[in-house]
Structure 1
Amino acid sequence: MSERILEVKDLHVSFDIDAGEVQAVRGVDFYLNKGETLAIVGESGSGKSVTTKAITKLFQGDTGRIKQGEINFLGEDLGVKSEQELVKLRGKEISMIFQDPMTSLNPTMKIGKQVMEPLIKHKNYNKADAKKRAIEILELVGLPNPQQRFNAYPHQFSGGQRQRIVIATALACEPKVLIADEPTTALDVTMQAQILDLMKSLQDKIDTSIIFITHDLGVVANIADRVAVMYGGQMIETGDVNEIFYDPKHPYTWGLLSSMPDLTTGTDTELIAIPGTPPDLLHPPKGDSFASRSQYALDVDFKEAPPWFQVSPTHYVKSWLLDERAPEVEPPAMVQKRMREMPNNYAKPKQVERVSFNGQS
């Protein structure tokens, strides 16, 4: 059995604003095993970033708060740790890569000094050893001529090179958990592929576990071991990457798969969008958060939130469509087409009977 390095149970995060309480994350459960990559996917505003920032309480300002829940990291509950204790943890044990490398780096500091900083702070390196190690790390992430460019400033690098520097800084202390918050969104397609390949190779070299946040399911297919789909501040479907792509069960997951651009067909191919807008988390809906946008919604979806249903030992879904009393519904044609076109290196899961399940193991 894989070693469980991080486990989040019944996490609720709210933000207090003038209009009231925004319930950004509501009852989220997930886990991360040693050496694996968990992708958290969903539209903007679904709660992905807030969920991961809650792990080390990285909230901007004083409005955010963890209302309830447990965040267990190597057997310790991070939710009860003080800010001083979390400062020692951030960057050393749990590190984060943000979306825009230009705003992640200090424009007034040379890049070498920024990579040295966590080594000096968390590893007690002296300046000479920190510089030597920083150059090694910059070389490891593929930055050209790191020794010559050690004293350059962030604006003197391309977008892809800046992201490599950010990754080097995040990995300097060889953290046990690396959180990557849409790290390839600001990059072109070619550079995205290079950064993803880099992250996969570095994961093996430093033996880290990755939480990868994205809205791009195409990225997920290339990097993830398991996938958690978020919507309206909740996780609604989790499974290994095979199950999410070959056997998706939630209508929202179907919508995400249908909206993926198809680069294999002509330019006249229609891009399918999910109708409607995400729920207002100032006033979360009573039942299934996706019901108002789903053509497959049942009467019960507007009255009662669905529990977890177990599809396989690793696949769980929050949808009343999996209740034994619900009608059988097939995924839309576009999703079935996507399922047929997935790369051959993903093994299709076996069909299983639908069973009700009230929690995740």
Structure 2
Amino acid sequence: MMSENNVENILEVKNLHVNFHTYAGEVNAIRGVSFDLKKGETLAIVGESGSGKSVTTKTLMGLNAKNANIPEGELLFKGTDLLKKTEKEWQALRGNEISMIFQDPMTSLDPTMKIGNQIAEPIRKHKKVGRKESLKRALELMVMVGIPDPEIHINDYPHQWSGGMRQRAVIAIALAGDPELLIADEPTTALDVTIQAQIMHLMAELQREINSSIIFITHDLGVVAGFAQKVAVMYAGEIVEYGTVEEVFYNPQHPYTWGLLDSMPTVETASDRLVSIPGTPPDLLFPPKGDAFASRNKYALEIDSEEEPPFFEVSPTHYAKTWLLDPRAPKVDPSDNIKARWAKWEAMQSGGFESVMKEGGVY
């Protein structure tokens, strides 16, 4: 459905299932996830905590815990299935062709090791160069990610830096091997809003410079609005909506996506109360029958508790997994916020995306 054979695809994830064996039973953490990624493209994976975002990306890095089991699926990176690689092959791949920026820079950095040496280490390992040359490249990377006076600060330790500067160091480490695929797992969560904006701007600039593909994990739709080209919305270990950033933000079709967008205030939000999605995600020790979102969905149909919905095609680039898109389904009345987004989508189709944004349209 969403993963097709294409020479431009650097990554194709096909029907991925990941289970975890626990003392309580088997947790079905990832249930049939599929998507693809082209060279130089950014995919944002969004959803609540526990939806499966981080497990998906850790699987792409071969970093799942030992109790993980992958009974089904393919992870094709440049045409090669990552799931068939040995641990030695994974070690050659990680930090080289595929790198990851983790959520908390303080726990990502070694507190006993100088930052310059931490940036230089993957360069020495993967590029097979000496200490002097690796430190020279580390200085170049520090300049690239906007660290001031790198010649002075290359010998600093992590505790001497602010959270935003530490995150820049983590990004430099991730870029040290010139990766073709960069995975960012909520890299701005531990930072304040102004620093978040700086880091997002930095990542966008670096992507244009090095032409890498990015998978960006977040629970905050607002963070990725101007950053990603495609968005995958995850819920209960599944992708429930998938499309371009404009399609997902302005023409959302899944009730869960509606809930996420309603809970995200914008400058146009009229209400002084924040909206939340009622209930909690299902227990994936016992995945629910039918649509996993049915118990939290006020628009749920009778079939939602009986049969899992297929993906319905909204456009060649936009899919949503909801029975509401079945031709037989009744029409529902979403929130004023969603209807306003649909109205903007209609305007975009006639007048173009840029003209709508100039008139004050926002994500």
Q: Normalising to structure 2: TM-score of the pair?
A: 0.92
Distance 1:304 1:143 in 2: 53
The match for 1:38 among 37, 43, 61 is 43
Task: Report the equivalent of 2:304.
Answer: 301
CA distance in 2, matches of 1:278, 1:137: 41
- The CA deviation at 1:2 is 7.4
Give 2:293's match in structure 1, choosing from 275, 287, 290.
290
Q: Hey, what does 1:129 align to over in structure 2?
A: 133
CA shift at 1:336, angstroms?
2.7
Q: 1:322 to 1:340 in 2, by over 3 A?
A: closer
Q: Secondary structure at the match of 1:147?
A: helix
Which position in structure 1 is the counterpart of 2:104? 100
SS at match of 1:148: helix
Q: Could you tell me how far 1:263 is from its partner in structure 2?
A: 4.5
1:334 positional shift: 2.5
- State how many pairs are aligned: 347
> Would the alpha carbon gap of residues 254 and 99 (structure 1) be closer, same or farther in structure 2, given more than 3 Å must change?
same
- C-alpha change, 1:347 and 1:9, in structure 2 (3 Å) is farther
Which residue of structure 2 aligns with residue 72 of structure 1?
76
Task: Note if 1:269 corresponds to 2:257.
Answer: no
8 Å contact from structure 1 (residues 99, 182) kept in 2: yes
SS state of the match for residue 193, structure 1?
helix
Q: Deviations over 1:119-148 (max 9, x none)?
A: 000110111110100000011000111111
The answer to whether structure 1 residue 63 and structure 2 residue 67 are counterparts is: yes
Q: Within the alignment, does 1:332 sit opposite 2:309 as a pair?
A: no
- 2:360 aligns with none
Letter in 1 for 2:264: M
Question: Structure 1 residue 18 and structure 2 residue 3: aligned?
Answer: no
Q: Is residue 180–residue 212 contact of structure 2 (8 Å, CA) maintained in 1?
A: yes
Cα deviation, 1:202-261, whole Å, max 9, x if unaligned, reads 001111000000011111212110000000000010000010011000000000000002
Distance 1:227 1:278 in 2: 20
Q: Which runs of 5+ in 1 are unaligned?
A: 350-361
* In structure 1, distance between residues paired with 2:342 and 2:190: 28
Counterpart of 1:357 in structure 2 is none
d(CA) in 1 for partners of 2:157 and 2:132?
A: 20
Distance 1:31 1:231 in 2: 18
**Structure 2 alignment gaps of length 5 or more:** 1-5, 357-363
Query: CA–CA distance in 1 between the matches of 2:203 and 2:69?
Result: 31
- Seen in structure 2, the aligned counterparts of structure 1 residues 214 and 316 have a Cα distance that, compared at 3 Å, is same
SS at match of 2:277: coil
Give 1:199 deviation, angstroms: 0.2
Q: Which amino acid aligns with 2:286?
A: H
**TM-score normalised by structure 1 residue count:** 0.92
- 2:3 match: none
CA distance in 1, matches of 2:355, 2:252: 11
**C-alpha deviation, 1:282, in angstroms:** 0.3
Change (3 A) 1:142 1:278: same
Which amino acid is 2:282 matched to? P
Give the structure 2 partner of residue 236 of structure 1.
240
- C-alpha deviation, 1:173, in angstroms: 1.1
- State the Cα distance separating 1:265 from its structure 2 match: 5.6
Q: Secondary structure at the match of 1:222?
A: coil
Q: Is the 8 A contact 2:40 2:214 kept in 1?
A: yes
The alpha carbon displacement at 1:65 in A equals 1.9
In 1, Cα distance between the equivalents of 2:279 and 2:53? Answer: 20
Question: Is the Cα contact below 8 Å between 1:226 and 1:240 reproduced in 2?
Answer: yes
Q: What is the RMSD of the two structures over their aligned residues, measured on CA atoms?
A: 1.9
Alignment of 1:212-223 (within 5 A): 212-223=216-227
- Whether the 8 Å contact between 2:250 and 2:344 is mirrored in structure 1 is no
Match of 1:27 in 2: 32
- The answer on 1:179 being equivalent to 2:183 is yes
- Poorly superposed stretches of 4+, deviation over 4 Å: 263-266, 338-342
CA deviation profile, 1:290-314 (whole Å, cap 9, x unmatched):
0000011011110111111101010
Question: Alignment partner for residue 111 of structure 1, among 115, 125, 146?
Answer: 115
Native 8 Å contact 2:19 2:28 kept in 1: yes
